[in-house]
């Protein structure tokens, strides 16, 4: 019998092994997405019917470009966390679960990178 | 085996759907739907990066009947998830747990979703 407490328990990380980090990140990104999504929807509506030049002017400007990159980051972070929970709830085979979560996280990272780099390319 | 003889709680489809349970599963379903819908967002942004021709192609797809149906469905899911997400954040802050309040906020989410969706599309179509 070991007299040492497991490190995870000392750090209050619990059965999920990562404490409240996942839960907290999900809420913080949700909070950030409330204004970002409203801004995005209003912007997209005002861009309806605009041509390529005016779209590039909008997306390539410092403020909307920065907001777009933040929106992309928060969206795919929030999506990765949410989809992970859905998979963990419904996929019960350990290997299958791990593979699905990794696949979803990789896809979110890739899509987020493509979207963010596309916006950056409009800014230079 | 004794494990198999344990009493089970009634199966999910035994329960009458209630506003609370329906809104709860809808939050999850719309979340997944929005995540799938981000493919369209990525395509749209990447096409702008690729140049005017690719962007026109993407705009053409978004403006096509299939594109508009997808966009409409995506906007409904987005507004629902946004409204119900705010409801969840209130719960996380410890607010609104009384049963009458839960039902009131649930209906408010549905009304909010309808109003925001209609508002966005009416304004969008008028501008267009």
Note whether residue B13 is domain-resident: no
- Report the alpha-carbon distance of residue B85 to residue A78 in Å, rounded: 12
Q: Which residues of B touch A108 (CB under 8 A)?
A: 35
CB atoms within 10 A of CB B37: 17
CATH number where B67 lies:
1.20.1300.10
Q: Which residues of B touch A37 (CB under 8 A)?
A: 78, 82
B39-83 pLDDT tens trace: 999 999 999 999 999 999 999 998 899 999 999 999 999 999 999
Q: Which residues of B touch A68 (CB under 8 A)?
A: 45
**Interface contacts A/B by beta carbons within 8 Å:** 75
B76-123 pLDDT tens trace: 999 999 999 999 999 999 999 999 999 999 999 999 999 999 999 999
CB atoms within 10 A of CB B106: 18
CB atoms within 10 A of CB A1: 2
Range(s) of the domain holding residue B105: 18-127
pLDDT at A15: 66
Q: Is B81 annotated as a binding residue?
A: yes
Low-confidence ranges of chain A (pLDDT < 50): none
Checking if the pLDDT of B1 tops 60, the result is no
List the domain boundaries for chain A. Answer: 20-123
pLDDT at A22: 92
Q: What chain B residue is nearest to A50 in terms of C-alpha separation?
A: B128
pLDDT at B8: 75
Q: What's the ipTM?
A: 0.89
Domain count, chain B: 1
C-beta atoms of B89 and A30 within 8 A:
yes
Q: What chain A residue is nearest to B76 in terms of C-alpha separation?
A: A41
For domain A20-123, give the fold. 3 helical TM bundles of succinate and fumarate reductases (1.20.1300)
Q: What is the pTM of this model?
A: 0.89
C-beta atoms of B78 and A115 within 8 A:
no
> If we measure between CA atoms, which residue out of B47, B55, B71, B46 comes closest to residue A111?
B46
Q: What is the DSSP string of chain A?
A: ---SPPHHHHTT--TTSSTTHHHHHHHHHHHHHHHHHHHHHHHHHHTTT--HHHHHHHHHSHHHHHHHHHHHHHHHHHHHHHHHHHHHHH--SHHHHHHHHHHHHHHHHHHHHHHHHHHHHHH-
């Amino acid at each position: 019998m070991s007299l040492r407490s497991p490190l995870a328990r000392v750090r209050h990380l619990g059965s999920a092994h990562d404490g409240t980090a996942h839960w907290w990140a999900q809420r913080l990104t949700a909070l950030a997405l409330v204004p970002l999504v409203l801004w995005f929807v209003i912007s997209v509506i005002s861009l309806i019917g605009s041509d390529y030049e005016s779209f590039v002017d909008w997306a390539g400007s410092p403020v909307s470009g920065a907001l777009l990159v933040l929106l992309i980051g928060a969206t795919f972070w929030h999506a990765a966390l949410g989809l992970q929970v859905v998979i963990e709830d419904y996929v019960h085979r350990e290997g299958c679960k791990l593979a699905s979560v990794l696949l979803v996280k990789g896809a979110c990272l890739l899509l987020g990178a493509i979207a963010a780099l596309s916006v950056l390319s409009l800014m230079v | 085996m004794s494990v198999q003889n344990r009493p089970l709680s009634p199966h999910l489809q035994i329960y009458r759907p209630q506003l609370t349970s329906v809104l709860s599963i809808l939050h999850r379903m719309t979340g997944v739907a929005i995540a799938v819908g981000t493919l369209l967002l990525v395509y749209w942004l990447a096409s702008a990066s690729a140049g005017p021709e690719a962007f026109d192609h993407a705009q053409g797809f978004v403006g096509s009947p299939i594109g508009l149906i997808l966009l409409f469905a995506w906007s409904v899911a987005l507004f629902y998830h946004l409204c119900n997400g705010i409801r969840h954040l209130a719960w996380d802050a410890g607010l609104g747990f009384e049963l009458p309040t839960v039902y009131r906020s649930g209906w408010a989410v549905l009304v909010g979703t309808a109003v925001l969706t209609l508002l966005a599309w009416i304004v969008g179509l008028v501008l267009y």
